[in-house]
Amino acid sequence: MTISTDDLYRGPVKRSIGIAGHLTSISLEPLFWDMLKAAAETRALPLNALVARIDVERIEAVGPPNLASAIRLWLVRDLMEQSPPVPETEEQTSVSS
């Protein structure tokens, strides 16, 4: 996925999603909407089902963030879990010691 600078820095877009039997409005930047759609497709889930799963995790957390923040955090964690671990360099090892 290639994203232009103009697309990267576009402001949030508000959309309504049905979760837990009601509509809720969520404002996310277009990049995060694209990532969320891709994550739902990868899991063969409708978008609202993935958002509902994220919402359940969010509600169970101590001091839960708002839903839009929870979605962004979930997407970053998902991306990090998909990426291979970065080997520590000698410099990183000496800094953390």
The residues with which 27 forms a beta bridge, in sequence order, are: 14
Reported confidence tier of residue 84, pLDDT bands at 50, 70, 90: confident
Closest to 75 (Cα-Cα) out of 46, 49, 51, 92 = 51
What residue ranges do the domains of the chain occupy?
A: 30-82
Strand partners, 24: 17
Residues 3-26: tens digit of each pLDDT: 667 777 888 999 999 998 899 999
pLDDT digits (tens, 9 = 90+) for 68-78: 999 999 999 99
**What is the number of alpha carbons within 13 Å of residue 48 lying toward its C-beta?**
11
Q: Do residues 29 and 11 lie in contact, with contact meaning Cβ atoms separated by under 8 Å?
A: yes
Cα dihedral sign, 54-55-61-65: positive
